[in-house]
Structure 1
């Protein structure tokens, strides 16, 4: 086992001196967590307790791998770690967060790479492709003091610059080149990779790719600007690379004092990842000939009070044999609950969904840990709302096959049961 890699599970606690975590590493992690408003873990006395984010943190040359875990098995042996490493990678791939070819999958299965290296490699491959086909060009305005009058003369600057030198003109004119925000963002992420990765191959590749960006200004905008970036027809091919770059930029925490404890992190909200994974598993079954016709959509919003909206995770719509158009709601929950003990808040949330989206059934969708599916239980009707009977079901999906590999066969079983 690599002594520079710490492996831990979500919601677990890591203390100083555990698996080689030093005081310097701890201090850098606290700074990183503060930078992100305590989003990733809770800091205690010489310890950190991880929340529901999974992924990889690299602190200097120390890699901390945070894995998902939805079972009651207290063991953290190599088999358990391998199971959840593979599951996380597969979820990320199937949810569309990363792309892997067969060689890269084999590399991960043999333990040759951690998730951070895989993510950074995916980003570099995407940038390599864009550089090969040609970096996108945009029109922009450029100011310059030249001997040729080109564009709009900037009178004030012209007088300042050329009171003595009468041969030049200070002008503003349009240029069409690759020096734009999209390429600037990629350059910023490449610089972070080159500066932070401990992987020699990735460092070399990022350094070589930076040569394509020598004439491009480094992006220095705000994270809000990064979130609100708008793509057009010409920049559409950049969407995946920018999405990868965004996570790299957002989760970089430089060590300005010495530079030896820079932090680069690739972290994912496990609740959102689980939702995306389940949605993609359902979505790809839409044209399955063994199932009735149905459509899957997500994040449909409705106003319910003032300007407040509600958005269930997934809506499945279908037509019955007698041509009735029906829908049901699926709300994914990455947590372990008893088969008949959902939280009150979750039940109330489903109750509201049923009313607002005019459905007769909502389903709380959990990973299975020895629970049994008990079917729908109806809500009690109130005197004020004497409508059709509607209910909520707790559904527990077995995410793994008999070989402990992540499997999406639960999607067929679930849809066959509910779309009819």
Structure 2
């Protein structure tokens, strides 16, 4: 049984229960997840005495228990041996699409290999704030009211009478002050305190404690989406943007347990279908983008009701849009395992073929190895001479992310140039 402070690693679509199984959880953890599910989260579904994860991957922390959900596109039954491989794949994909921006001076030495996604976010945030403290926290002007022994700013007459009938040596004034007490630091300090509360990584504890000693204590403020909407970064505060973006993610994804106070939930989850689409798109842009135009989520009008706006179609990736060499790709994060694509996916590709006047269309899936299978749509009538085709491209998962990107782009480029699969 999983104890309250342990780390659980599962794969997408896996089920964990409190009554049986190697990854057996406590009933209390199940009830906490059940309560969290009631808030409308899409990351898992409830099943008999347990939960089944969906196509979302990442980390859910409940109290001190960390549940790490990894992607898995192969059929290898040796799950334990695959954990580090798929952890590296997930982190690598997130880095490629820009979720982990580790190229700035302040965060160029992150220990990527040994951490979970949650630890990476914590470490990235700590590195950013350490950089800000080292370079000097930015001061801003703010209005301040209170008693001073000298008249400064404007005298608040009503409050002066109220507070200083006895202490006539004081002046209750409103004045501008120039210091570090402003909203940016309120947000960062609140996030440091949150990380201190929920961190389970021993190697980060001393850094968190040291940062709290070096960062000035700030008042506790209520943080909502609107708090971040009203932030404006200028030349001096631009260096805060990375830290504030991570703070926003952590603070808004944190759900405190107001009933018991022990099962607070923090979820950092990613839809693998969206992640896979963005990863393939970025890989194509990086490797073959110079000789081809590559666009993502290109919209085309499809149907219009008598009253109202057009419905549209929007394939994942279009290469060489509006040309004779147009190619349309739709990405799907699932392993077909030798089965055929779904009829709905094939119908969708037929529509893309027609409406984009594409030379080729293909469904792109992860696979155990690189391969492509061609197929043709049936002719509408005997007079039709053009046979529309749709390929299924399997993308083998690589160990080195950079090499894997190159392999994906080159394989798809070779498929595009191959006239035998038209």
The runs of 5 or more residues in structure 2 that have no matched partner are none
Check 1:174–1:21 CA distance in 2 against 1; reply closer, same or farther (3 A cut): same
1:33 equivalent in structure 2: 37
Distance of 2:212 and 2:388 partners within structure 1: 58
Distance of 2:362 and 2:147 partners within structure 1: 66
1:79 equivalent in structure 2: 81
Distance of 1:301 and 1:232 partners within structure 2: 35
Check 1:368–1:224 CA distance in 2 against 1; reply closer, same or farther (3 A cut): farther
Check 1:333–1:242 CA distance in 2 against 1; reply closer, same or farther (3 A cut): farther
Offset from partner CA, 1:303-351 (integer Å, 9 cap, x none)? 76628766543343389xxxx6854343322123377843344445555
220-229 or 239-248, which deviates more: 220-229
The runs of 5 or more residues in structure 1 that have no matched partner are none
- 1:266-305 alignment, distance < 5 Å: 266-286=268-288, 293-300=291-298
Distance of 2:72 and 2:211 partners within structure 1: 37
Check 1:61–1:328 CA distance in 2 against 1; reply closer, same or farther (3 A cut): same
Distance of 2:387 and 2:148 partners within structure 1: 78
Q: Among residues 404, 407, 411, which one is paired with 1:407 in the alignment?
A: 404
Distance of 1:170 and 1:357 partners within structure 2: 69
Offset from partner CA, 1:219-239 (integer Å, 9 cap, x none)? 422235447865444443333
Matched pairs, number: 398
Contact 1:381 1:389 in 2 (8 A): no
Task: Report how far residue 255 of structure 1 moved.
Answer: 3.6
Contact 2:59 2:268 in 1 (8 A): yes
SS at match of 1:216: coil
Check 1:8–1:76 CA distance in 2 against 1; reply closer, same or farther (3 A cut): farther
Bigger Rg, which one: 2
- 1:51-62 alignment, distance < 5 Å: 51-62=54-65
TM-score (norm 2): 0.76
Distance of 1:303 and 1:153 partners within structure 2: 64
- 1:237-256 alignment, distance < 5 Å: 237-256=239-258
Check 1:293–1:254 CA distance in 2 against 1; reply closer, same or farther (3 A cut): same
Check 1:140–1:284 CA distance in 2 against 1; reply closer, same or farther (3 A cut): farther
Check 1:49–1:77 CA distance in 2 against 1; reply closer, same or farther (3 A cut): closer
Distance of 1:160 and 1:282 partners within structure 2: 70
TM-score (norm 1): 0.77
